[in-house]
């Protein structure tokens, strides 16, 4: 061992960003200018909000309550414990929200898969949803990473191309709606990040033995990157802090692996019609690398496609003796479990494929007893004693 | 003319050379340096050998500093900052602040030699993790280790087996806003690659580049020897990201000439960080009302035939205060500015 | 009329020793017209500046690891305005892209993924055979999203559609009604849509499809699909007093 390392002093220097050196415009300022010019309405972030730091050191407002939950196709359709956990966390922390029926998909999954749409239509769909939120006075909180990324693209087109803005405004006026853009485009995982300390305060299960690998969602931090949350204390400010920040707050270990930045393999069209690609990529570039290098108890991610691809892709490779078998869930489900949520009534883990039971055991959860409870619910539903499982059933 | 004194702001290579030449031509020169020692970046950042002649940086700078401080026409004030400037060509009134208080001096002309700073790799848009991984270092960090003959992995003090240089970090990058080429990094990386091979003969050294920019004699003095004599591997392709695997760094990029993705382990990765205008350059430009370009460098708006006059009469800029510059450029521009400033102080028409 | 590529573009595979261009039978003017349409997209200037072949996009690209696909070649072909090569890419490569936008870290600020979005869109708008092939088996998803406003529905989880997802898919599909009722959020009790979307909302969505010419694009790639979607929409729109 050599005792003197000349650059050591530099290494202890924490990374600090200066927003005045940001290489991009602050789109919020441009939005306010457009509002001033009467071109657009900007929906303000309601109070109370938490201020977080984004990639270039700017501050972003994350609303705590009065949120309008823009749901996700894949979450609601195939992994409904994902959405349910987001709602459950919101209720548990005592914040007011709307789960709207006046909401469509952003339709970006289809757009990225098939290109059977165009700028005007995508703008129309986005602005219709934003107008619907505005009409309620609640602020959009976007559940899907792709919706979040795509809406930022749409915002760019509407702000910077007068003709696109005119076309979309025309469509909106035919629907009898104003052209409204939220002040911030906020992903639910940013809300989770903003309230992570509150979640930790309500934590009832010990996660100190849990080792998690994080998969950050491409459409969260690569597609229009300046809106994503960063923190000098997490990865030295060099990777997005979202998700990792929550896991650390809950006392679990975040284990690194060498394909952290790799996509999950979802591919939009591939997951539907060319799954050999998605499966191979998810297995060989993500799960196997995590297992070999970190051997995690769980993979935590924050987007619809990532949970689906990483979880479902682990079945078929077993036939080839591949080194798979790590349960996958969202940060919202992970946080809910920490706060004592029921693994089936709330987190709905029976919709997941890869075996999550060893993880639950490590968390101190008796999954067998929990399943018996849930089966009783199912029996009552089957017998039409109750029409639906309600929040009261869950909390009682 | 009010004052026949020349004020040089900044005591790096360019400022020192301007002072030396103006003094030799008979002018009274005041050199003001914010840091407590003269010598600029080669001293402050512990450069090992100078690019391109491999001369020992400390020795070369000591010679230049000695020539300036021993000259009877020169006064050098270190730990001193310029805090206000009033007046115009021929009669500038300059306030200097130091630990001992403020002072006001008169000057007929000013040479700005306030230089550059290294790009902070925390701002790169690739994923290199400079602040995450101790073994990811910059050219400046590597200079310091090479100077100490202690080129080891900062994480554990071990001698590296594989070393990579990544070019154009913070340069030629629209996303960062530094669209310019920093000019010197290809040469300095290659020079350092040679030094690494000299100090750690068993190490394999790789340079990942977009274009190798080795002008004039740098080609035969650095590039070819690095390849032919020192067996440095040059790979066309910029690294996409650096992560850690099995205690080593994993470098991921495309080997573009072979047309295939690559993932290779490394023990040390040196980021060839580019140049940006120093804080001093920005502050002085603002104080003197000198025009700057969109990157914050001082403009020399009079075209190719006048590389040192700024937008303010009587104020000249030299070296890396005007844009990325190697040592040869800096010294040459210092000479040009010194001659023009002395001519101006003597009442000559200086053509701009 | 077909003619040789003008000398200002890179002729694709010019020598007799190389394989013939797979799309020789398509007139150059047609290929050029498609390329002009790509360039006319409002996003184009934001997605392509120039390319110095650094390869940063390739190592970040998931598709480049599994296909003969390179985002660098997409950007380079576009930068060179190599009309013949771009046409080939529109007919093949572009459908390999994962649209993850990992390539967006380009130092020139290109977005190869964004370029591909536009290239695909033009391919669809003109009903290129490749787009029809790429969308084969995908029609029901387009139908679902356009008519219900949600992309995937719980009842799509059928064992024959997802045999590679294991036996759980069968269990989900067997228990679907019950399991959906066991979801506390009241918008999630649906089985044929991801969540419950109100009638008025759907109507507004249909109007957006009509006002933005998306229906014409669908007609280009799949007439049958177009007809079915139109039927569903017309009924709703007519009931609400709209005539499209």
Helix (H) or strand (E) holding B111: strand B109-112
Task: Evaluate if residue A238 carries a pLDDT over 70.
Answer: yes
Please state, for a pLDDT cut of 70, what percent of chain C lies above it: 91
Q: What are the C-alpha distances in Å from B162 to residues A127, B134, B153, B201, C40?
A: 53, 15, 10, 11, 48
Q: Measured between CA atoms, how close is A116 to chain C, in angstroms?
A: 6
**B154 vs A235: CB contact, 8 Å cut-off?**
no
Q: Measured between CA atoms, how close is A77 to chain B, in angstroms?
A: 34
Please state, for a pLDDT cut of 90, what percent of chain A lies above it: 94
How far is C-alpha B165 from the geometric centre of its chain's CA atoms?
Answer: 18
Query: How confident is the model over C72-95, as a mean pLDDT?
Result: 96
Mutate to test the interface with B, among C107, C108, C112 (most CBs of B within 10 A): C107
Exposure string of A143-155, with b = 16+ CB inside 10 Å and e = fewer, is: bbbbbbbbbbbbb
pLDDT band at C243 (very low <50, low <70, confident <90, very high): confident
Strands (DSSP E) found in chain C: none
Q: Following CA atoms B212, B218, B219, B222 in sequence, which dihedral angle do they give, to the nearest 10 degrees?
A: -90
Enumerate residues 6+ apart whose C-beta is below 8 A from A329: A81, A82, A298, A299, A300, A307, A311, A347, A349, A352, A356
Task: Evaluate if residue C18 carries a pLDDT over 70.
Answer: no
Task: Evaluate if residue B2 carries a pLDDT over 90.
Answer: no
Query: How confident is the model over B172-188, as a mean pLDDT?
Result: 96
Mutate to test the interface with B, among C46, C54, C62 (most CBs of B within 10 A): C54
Size of interface A-B (CB pairs under 8 A): 78
Spatial separation of the C-alpha atoms in residues B232 and B194, rounded to whole Å: 8
User: What are chain C's partners, defined as 3 or more CB pairs within 8 angstroms?
Assistant: A, B
User: Can you list the alpha helix ranges (DSSP code H) found in C1-43?
Assistant: 28-40
Task: Evaluate if residue B230 carries a pLDDT over 80.
Answer: yes
Query: How confident is the model over C139-160, as a mean pLDDT?
Result: 94
- The 10 Å Cβ neighbour count of residue A391 is 16
Task: Evaluate if residue B330 carries a pLDDT over 70.
Answer: yes
Spatial separation of the C-alpha atoms in residues B32 and B25, rounded to whole Å: 19
CATH 1.20.1050.140-classified regions of chain A: 26-188
For chain C, the first-to-last Cα distance in angstroms comes to 38
Spatial separation of the C-alpha atoms in residues B279 and B81, rounded to whole Å: 12
**C55 vs B126: CB contact, 8 Å cut-off?**
no
Q: In the prediction, which pLDDT does C166 show?
A: 92
The model's pLDDT over A182-193, given as tens digits with 9 standing for 90+, comes to 999 999 999 999
**Shortest CA distance to C77 belongs to which of C85, C87, C69?**
C85
The model's pLDDT over B119-164, given as tens digits with 9 standing for 90+, comes to 999 999 899 999 999 999 999 999 999 999 999 999 999 999 999 9
CATH 3.40.50.11810-classified regions of chain A: 204-373
Note whether A317 and A356 are within 8 A (CB): no
Spatial separation of the C-alpha atoms in residues A114 and A247, rounded to whole Å: 35
Task: Evaluate if residue B333 carries a pLDDT over 80.
Answer: yes
The single residue listed with the structure tokens 């548990």 is A92
Task: Evaluate if residue C164 carries a pLDDT over 50.
Answer: yes
Task: Name the DSSP letter for residue C34.
Answer: H
Q: In the prediction, which pLDDT does A8 show?
A: 56
User: What are chain A's partners, defined as 3 or more CB pairs within 8 angstroms?
Assistant: B, C
Alpha-carbon Rg for chain B, nearest whole angstrom, is 21
Put simply, whether A233 touches B (Cβ < 8 Å) is no
pLDDT band at C5 (very low <50, low <70, confident <90, very high): very low
Structural domains present in chain B:
5-115+278-345 (3.50.50.60), 119-274 (3.50.50.60)
The single residue listed with the structure tokens 């398509």 is C26
Helix (H, G, I), strand (E, B) or coil at B350: coil
Task: Evaluate if residue C3 carries a pLDDT over 60.
Answer: no
Chain B interface with C: residues with Cβ < 8 Å: 125-127, 168, 172-176, 210-211, 236-241, 252-256, 259, 261-263
Top-level class of domain A204-373: alpha beta
**C154 vs A103: CB contact, 8 Å cut-off?**
no
The model's pLDDT over A41-74, given as tens digits with 9 standing for 90+, comes to 999 999 999 999 999 999 999 999 999 999 999 9
Query: How confident is the model over C94-109, as a mean pLDDT?
Result: 96
Query: How confident is the model over B64-68, as a mean pLDDT?
Result: 97
Helix (H, G, I), strand (E, B) or coil at B192: helix
Q: In the prediction, which pLDDT does A7 show?
A: 57
Measure CB to CB from residue B132 to each of A235, A257, A261 and give the nearest one. Answer: A235
**What is the overall mean pLDDT for chain C?**
90
Q: In the prediction, which pLDDT does A11 show?
A: 57
The model's pLDDT over A277-306, given as tens digits with 9 standing for 90+, comes to 999 999 999 999 999 999 999 999 999 999
The model's pLDDT over A73-90, given as tens digits with 9 standing for 90+, comes to 999 999 999 999 999 999
Spatial separation of the C-alpha atoms in residues B300 and B309, rounded to whole Å: 6
Q: Token digits for A29?
A: 């300022």
Spatial separation of the C-alpha atoms in residues B44 and B35, rounded to whole Å: 9
Exposure string of A113-134, with b = 16+ CB inside 10 Å and e = fewer, is: bbbbbbbbbbbbbbbbbbbbbb
The model's pLDDT over A125-168, given as tens digits with 9 standing for 90+, comes to 999 999 999 999 999 999 999 999 999 999 999 999 999 999 99
pLDDT band at C9 (very low <50, low <70, confident <90, very high): very low
Q: In the prediction, which pLDDT does A100 show?
A: 98
**What is the overall mean pLDDT for chain A?**
95
Spatial separation of the C-alpha atoms in residues A123 and A189, rounded to whole Å: 24
**C184 vs A83: CB contact, 8 Å cut-off?**
no
pLDDT band at C4 (very low <50, low <70, confident <90, very high): very low
Task: Name the DSSP letter for residue C20.
Answer: P
Per-state percent for chain A, helix, strand, coil, to nearest 5: 50, 10, 40
Per-window interface: C 146-205 vs B, CB < 8 A: none
Please state, for a pLDDT cut of 90, what percent of chain B lies above it: 93
Top-level class of domain A26-188: mainly alpha
Q: Measured between CA atoms, how close is B312 to chain C, in angstroms?
A: 34
Per-window interface: A 152-171 vs C, CB < 8 A: 156-157, 160-161, 163-164, 167, 170-171
pLDDT band at C182 (very low <50, low <70, confident <90, very high): very high
- The 10 Å Cβ neighbour count of residue A81 is 27
The model's pLDDT over A346-356, given as tens digits with 9 standing for 90+, comes to 999 999 999 99
Structural domains present in chain C:
28-134 (1.10.1060.10), 139-239 (no CATH)
User: What are chain B's partners, defined as 3 or more CB pairs within 8 angstroms?
Assistant: A, C
Mutate to test the interface with A, among C212, C213, C233 (most CBs of A within 10 A): C212
Nearest Cα residue in chain C from A308: C165
Which residues of C are less than 8 Å from B175 in CB distance? 105-107, 109
């Amino acid at each position: 061992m050599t005792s003197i390392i000349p650059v050591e002093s530099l290494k202890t220097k924490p990374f600090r960003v200066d927003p005045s050196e940001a290489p991009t415009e602050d789109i919020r300022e441009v939005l306010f200018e457009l509002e001033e010019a009467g071109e657009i309405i900007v929906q303000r972030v309601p109070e109370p909000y938490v201020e977080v730091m984004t990639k270039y050191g700017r501050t972003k407002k994350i609303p705590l309550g009065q949120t309008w939950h823009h749901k996700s196709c894949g979450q609601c359709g195939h992994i409904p414990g994902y959405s349910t956990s987001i709602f459950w966390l919101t209720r548990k922390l005592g914040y007011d929200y709307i789960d709207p029926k006046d909401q469509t998909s952003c339709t970006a999954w289809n757009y990225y898969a098939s290109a059977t749409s165009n700028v005007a239509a995508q703008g129309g769909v986005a602005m219709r949803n934003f107008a619907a939120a505005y009409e309620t006075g609640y602020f959009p909180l976007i559940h899907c990473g792709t919706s979040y990324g795509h809406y930022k693209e749409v915002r760019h087109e509407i702000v910077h191309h007068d003709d696109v803005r005119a076309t979309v405004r025309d469509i909106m006026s035919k629907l009898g709606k104003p052209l409204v853009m939220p002040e911030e485009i906020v992903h639910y995982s940013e809300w989770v990040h903003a309230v992570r300390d509150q979640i930790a305060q309500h934590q009832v299960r010990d996660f100190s033995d849990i080792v998690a690998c994080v998969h950050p969602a491409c459409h969260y931090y690569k597609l229009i990157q300046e809106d994503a949350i960063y923190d000098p204390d997490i990865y030295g400010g060099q990777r997005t802090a979202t998700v990792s920040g929550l896991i650390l707050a809950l006392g679990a270990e975040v284990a690194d692996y060498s394909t952290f930045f790799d996509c999950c393999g979802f591919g939009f069209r591939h997951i539907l019609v060319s799954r050999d690609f998605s499966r191979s990529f998810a297995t060989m570039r993500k799960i196997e690398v995590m297992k070999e290098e970190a051997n995690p108890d769980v993979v935590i991610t924050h987007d619809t496609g990532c949970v689906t691809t990483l979880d479902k892709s682990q079945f078929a490779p077993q036939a080839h003796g591949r080194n798979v078998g790590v349960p996958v869930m969202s940060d919202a489900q992970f946080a809910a479990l920490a706060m004592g949520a029921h693994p089936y009534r709330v987190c709905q883990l029976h919709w997941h494929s890869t075996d999550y039971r060893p993880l639950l055991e490590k968390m101190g959860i008796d999954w067998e007893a929990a399943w018996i409870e849930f089966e009783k619910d199912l029996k009552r539903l089957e017998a039409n004693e109750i029409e639906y499982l309600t929040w009261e059933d869950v909390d009682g | 003319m009010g004052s026949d004194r020349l004020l040089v702001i900044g005591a790096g290579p360019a400022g020192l050379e301007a002072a030396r030449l103006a003094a030799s031509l008979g002018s009274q020169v005041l050199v003001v340096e914010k840091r407590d020692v003269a010598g600029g970046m080669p001293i402050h950042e512990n450069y090992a050998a100078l690019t391109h002649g491999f001369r020992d940086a400390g020795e070369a700078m000591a010679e230049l500093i000695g020539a300036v401080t021993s000259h009877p026409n020169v006064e050098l004030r270190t730990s001193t900052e310029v805090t206000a400037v009033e007046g115009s060509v021929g009669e500038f009134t300059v306030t200097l602040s130091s630990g001992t208080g403020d002072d006001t001096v008169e000057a007929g002309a000013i040479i700005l030699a306030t230089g550059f700073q290294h790009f902070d790799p925390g701002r790169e848009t690739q994923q290199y993790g400079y602040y995450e991984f101790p073994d990811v270092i910059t050219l400046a960090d590597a200079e310091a280790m090479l100077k100490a003959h202690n080129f080891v992995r900062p994480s554990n003090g071990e001698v590296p087996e594989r070393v990579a240089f990544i070019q154009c970090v913070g340069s030629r990058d629209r996303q960062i806003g530094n669209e310019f080429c920093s000019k010197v990094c290809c040469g300095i990386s290659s020079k350092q690659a040679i030094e690494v091979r000299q100090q750690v003969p068993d190490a394999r050294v790789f340079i990942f580049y977009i274009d190798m920019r080795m002008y004039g004699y740098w080609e035969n003095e650095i590039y070819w020897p690095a390849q032919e004599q020192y067996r440095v591997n040059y790979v066309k392709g910029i690294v996409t990201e650096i992560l850690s695997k099995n205690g080593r760094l994993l470098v991921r990029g495309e080997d573009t000439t072979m047309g295939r993705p690559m993932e290779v382990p490394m023990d040390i990765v040196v980021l060839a960080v580019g140049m940006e205008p120093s804080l001093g350059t920005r502050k002085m430009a603002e104080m003197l009302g000198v025009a700057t370009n969109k990157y914050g460098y001082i403009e020399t708006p009079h075209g190719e035939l006048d590389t040192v006059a700024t937008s303010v009469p009587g104020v000249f800029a030299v070296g890396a205060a005007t844009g990325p510059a190697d040592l040869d450029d800096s010294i040459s521009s210092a000479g040009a500015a010194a001659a023009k400033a002395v001519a101006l102080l003597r009442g000559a028409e200086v053509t701009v | 009329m077909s003619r040789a590529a003008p000398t200002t573009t890179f002729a694709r595979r010019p020598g007799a020793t190389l394989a013939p261009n797979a799309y020789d039978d398509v007139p150059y003017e047609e290929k050029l017209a498609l390329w002009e349409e790509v360039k006319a997209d409002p996003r184009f200037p934001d997605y392509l500046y120039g390319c110095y072949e650094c390869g940063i996009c390739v190592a970040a690209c998931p598709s480049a690891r599994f296909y003969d696909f390179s985002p660098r070649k997409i950007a380079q072909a576009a930068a060179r305005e190599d009309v013949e090569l771009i046409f080939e890419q529109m007919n093949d490569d572009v459908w390999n892209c994962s649209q993850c936008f990992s390539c967006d870290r380009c130092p020139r600020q290109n977005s190869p993924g964004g370029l591909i979005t536009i290239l695909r869109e033009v391919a669809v708008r003109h009903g290129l055979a490749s787009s029809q092939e790429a969308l084969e088996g995908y029609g029901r998803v387009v139908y679902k999203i356009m008519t219900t406003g949600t992309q995937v529905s719980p009842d799509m989880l059928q064992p024959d559609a997802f045999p590679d997802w294991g036996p759980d898919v069968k269990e989900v599909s067997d228990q679907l009604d019950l399991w959906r009722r066991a979801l506390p959020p009241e918008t999630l009790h649906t089985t044929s849509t991801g969540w419950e979307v109100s009638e008025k909302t759907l109507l507004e969505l249909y109007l957006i499809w009509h006002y933005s010419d998306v229906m014409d694009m669908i007609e280009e790639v799949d007439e049958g699909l177009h007809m079915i979607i139109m039927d569903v929409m017309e009924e709703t729109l007519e009931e609400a007093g709209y005539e499209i």
